[in-house]
Amino acid sequence: MAATIMLVDADAVNSSDWKTFLQNQGYSVIGVETGRTAIQRCPEVKPDLVLLSSSLPDMPAFQVCKRLKADPLNRLTPVILVVPDSEQFEASRAHRAGADDFWSKPASRWEAFNRVDTILQLKTYIDQQAEEVLYALARSIELKTPMMTGHSERLSDYTVQFGAHLGLTTDELELLRTGSLLHDIGKVAVPDHILLKPERLSPQEMRIMRRHPVVGEEICAPLKSFRHLLPLIRHHHERPDGSGYPDGLVGDSIPLSAQILQMADIFDALTTDRPYRKEMSVGDALAVMQREANQGQLSQTLLKEFSIFVWTTKLWWCGRETPLWGLNAN
């Protein structure tokens, strides 16, 4: 996919020349004329790079840069300040404002293209490394709790197969796959004495544990490639009757991906050993989930589909060497 560049420049002629040139090199270019518009649109446009002219009509470019970088959604987006030749430019001020680089107007458009291309390649590399680190971090949290080992991988199998059963698109299935692997990454901020506590959590400990969807969203937000996962990570503990967290969303306002993930999450929790009980059979687990649906805590419609899916696909084999205890797998 073509990289997107946000061009912030009030000079219509200059902006149009740059836009045409960059588009001819295969980039997708969004032009904006003011600092405020850039700050407002950047989180929604999610550019791969911002070229920011130093002379804007509404606010100093330093300030625009600072505000762009202060937003977690833009933190990893390179911002390049472009200054006129004649201007006495303060490099230290640009760096303090968070600019990744600053240029006086390049000698030629080709020089500009080379610099943009280099920065974008570097950014792609850094993003890939950061993604690997986050996957490793999510795995390491799971490894702390031996009973949770393999949970995310199983969840990934469950959600993708269930999503396919529901007729979701390839992109939506990919979202479920990666979201399943990362959904509990925010537990990195939960102290071990709470995370590993076998007994019931106190109200204070529960409050700390319940912050993990928001922390997970904050951890993944700076990476553009994880941006589409944020609603799933934030809302995977919401309940249709509004009793969930962190936002108490109700009914269909909970993203479908988050509802699918939660259903698989509960199913996996019930069908695996816990310190306080043995794993349940598939029939018992679905009966518990049906009681939750009757109380409004799960979608009846989705659970009906999930039950059909579980029985028809023999879901319980996913990620297991042996079927669940007490089951006839035929």
Q: Calculate the dihedral angle through the C-alpha atoms of 60, 66, 70, 72, rounding to the nearest 10 degrees.
A: 100
Residue whose CB is less far from Fe ion, 267 or 316: 267
Residue whose CB is less far from Fe ion, 74 or 272: 272
Residue whose CB is less far from Fe ion, 185 or 293: 185
Residue whose CB is less far from Fe ion, 200 or 330: 200
Point out which span in 56-64, 93-101, 137-145, 263-271 binds Fe ion (CB under 5 A): 263-271
Measured from the CB of residue 75, what is the shortest distance to Fe ion in angstroms?
24
Dist. CA 173–CA 264, nearest whole Å: 14
Burial class of residue 88 in the structure, from the number of CB atoms within 10 Å of its CB (0-12 exposed, 13-18 middle, 19+ buried):
exposed
184 binds Fe ion (CB under 5 A): yes
Residue appearing with tokens 């200059």: 14
Point out which span in 23-31, 32-40, 103-111, 260-268 binds Fe ion (CB under 5 A): 260-268
Helix, strand, coil percentages (3-state) for the chain, rounded to 5, are 60, 10, 35
Q: What is the size of the binding site for Fe ion (CB under 5 A)?
A: 2
Point out which span in 8-16, 176-184, 189-197, 318-326 binds Fe ion (CB under 5 A): 176-184
Measured from the CB of residue 280, what is the shortest distance to Fe ion in angstroms?
16
Residue whose CB is less far from Fe ion, 93 or 210: 210
Tokens coding 190: 């939960």
Residue appearing with tokens 């469950």: 158
Residue whose CB is less far from Fe ion, 157 or 184: 184
Point out which span in 25-33, 65-73, 183-191, 314-322 binds Fe ion (CB under 5 A): 183-191
Tokens coding 91: 């490099």
103 contacts: CB under 8 Å, gap ≥ 6? 80, 81, 82, 83, 112, 115
Point out which span in 124-132, 137-145, 257-265, 278-286 binds Fe ion (CB under 5 A): 257-265
265 binds Fe ion (CB under 5 A): yes
Q: Calculate the dihedral angle through the C-alpha atoms of 141, 142, 146, 150, rounding to the nearest 10 degrees.
A: -170
Measured from the CB of residue 184, what is the shortest distance to Fe ion in angstroms?
4
Are residues 50 and 42 in contact, defined by beta-carbon separation less than 8 angstroms? yes
Measured from the CB of residue 192, what is the shortest distance to Fe ion in angstroms?
17
Measured from the CB of residue 268, what is the shortest distance to Fe ion in angstroms?
7
The footprint of Fe ion on residues 105-164 (CB under 5 A) is none
Q: How many helices (H) and strands (E) does the chain have?
A: 14, 5
Residue whose CB is less far from Fe ion, 123 or 154: 154
Dist. CA 130–CA 77, nearest whole Å: 13
| Angle ∠(166,241,190) on CA atoms, nearest 5 | 90
Measured from the CB of residue 40, what is the shortest distance to Fe ion in angstroms?
32
Residue whose CB is less far from Fe ion, 99 or 261: 261
Measured from the CB of residue 10, what is the shortest distance to Fe ion in angstroms?
46
Measured from the CB of residue 151, what is the shortest distance to Fe ion in angstroms?
6
131-159 b/e (C-beta count within 10 Å ≥ 16 → b): beebeeebeebbeeeeebeebbebbbbbb
Which residues sit at the interface with Fe ion, rule CB under 5 A? 184, 265
